[in-house]
Amino acid sequence: MHSQLGAAAGVAGPPLHFRDHGDYEELAVIGNGAYGTVYKARNVASDAVVAMKKVRVPFTEEGIPTSTMREIAMLKQLDQYEHPNIVRLLDICHGEKLRSEQRLTLYLIFEHVDQDLACYLERCPPPGLPPSRIKDMMFQILSGVDFLHSHRVVHRDLKPQNLLVTAAGVVKLADFGLAKSYDFDMRLTSVVVTLWYRSPEVLLGLSYSSALDLWSCGCIMAELFRRAPLFPGNSEGDQLNRIFEVVGTPRQEEWPERSSILWSSLVYRPPAPLVSLMPELCVPGEDLLKKLLKFDPEERILAREALRHPYFSEAGLVPAEPKPAGLGTGPQAS
């Protein structure tokens, strides 16, 4: 059985066709996210193993809400580019429609990757990842982030658990449950971005932009070196304190006017030398990390700029030129 949902979402392209989820058999629960459960599943026809994200969405007399349709259409549109650092969306299926609860179950079928970056780091034997491997992984992560941002999509929940690592060492951005096409004055809900990877502007309740993903990239880069989170806060206030212990307390003139916290309530701290926290960090790597962890999002480096930073270019890593949809993006630089 197929279900056709037209272009009521206001997005270009043909109507979206949803198949029945009976084509897939659930094998095991992989994880639970803010917006749904992810299963390891099997395609009954091909026997291929996939990741199946089960999402319940509101259902009205008019059908699936426009916002949900836009989200799904965005996922399908991005998948046409076959970017090597973005997890592939293979299929979309519909499940039961609960009229009593006004909800419809959707199943997003993704390629299955055995481990995420958090598991990858846990399994890595001492003394940890070689600096060259960290550099390659960060280049791949930033390549995926640059691809999203170039299509006006902010991931909004970048963390090791949402980065998949294939057996061949390819890193793929996953879990776009919180992704959203961005405008110029977005405000975050409380569930967005796991606390340890949350940028200062989010913690202070300010409007945000794609720069919040770059802050998360900085946190992840530090974690690759340390094999432990850089800012493991246990509350929003503690999170800010831990951030300022490393990047330093902002000057009064740098403090945003609309912040939920007064600058006068802060304790002054000078910035800590990053190399003292990560002895294996090279000079170009330290410079890039500082630019990723800028307090002011306007001063934070862009993903496209980061890919051209000497930290990568001196190692021969050069960003690939964008390719038209459907042609893929070529092999990942190594």
Q: Could you tell me if 72 and 219 lie in one domain? A: no
Burial class of residue 235 in the structure, from the number of CB atoms within 10 Å of its CB (0-12 exposed, 13-18 middle, 19+ buried): exposed
Q: Could you tell me if 239 and 125 lie in one domain? A: yes
Burial 293-303 (b: 16+ CB within 10 A, else e): bbbebeebbbb
159, pLDDT greater than 90: yes
Q: Could you tell me if 202 and 285 lie in one domain? A: yes
Residue 175, pLDDT score:
80
243, pLDDT greater than 80: yes
Determine the average pLDDT of the residues in 157-162.
Answer: 92
Residues with a catalytic annotation lie at 157
In-domain check, residue 7: no
CA dist 68 and 256 (Å) reads 33
Q: Could you tell me if 188 and 270 lie in one domain? A: yes
4, pLDDT greater than 70: no
50: left (phi over 0), alpha (psi -120 to 50) or beta: beta
User: pLDDT, tens digit, for every residue of 191-212?
Assistant: 445 799 999 999 998 988 999 9
Per the structure, the count of domains in the chain is 2
Q: Could you tell me if 105 and 148 lie in one domain? A: no
Q: β-strands 103-111, 49-58: how paired?
A: antiparallel
Determine the average pLDDT of the residues in 61-88.
Answer: 84
In-domain check, residue 105: yes
- Percent of the chain having pLDDT more than 70? 83
34, pLDDT greater than 60: no
Please report, for the domain that includes residue 224, its CATH number. Answer: 1.10.510.10
Residue 33, pLDDT score:
64
Range of the domain at 129: 115-313
Please report, for the domain that includes residue 82, its CATH number. Answer: 3.30.200.20
In three-state secondary structure terms, 40 is strand
Q: Could you tell me if 130 and 211 lie in one domain? A: yes
Determine the average pLDDT of the residues in 152-167.
Answer: 92
Residue 98, pLDDT score:
65
In-domain check, residue 323: no
In-domain check, residue 63: yes
Q: Could you tell me if 99 and 157 lie in one domain? A: no
Q: Could you tell me if 146 and 76 lie in one domain? A: no
182, pLDDT greater than 90: no
Ranked by mean pLDDT, the top range of 95-104, 118-127, 148-157, 218-227 is 218-227
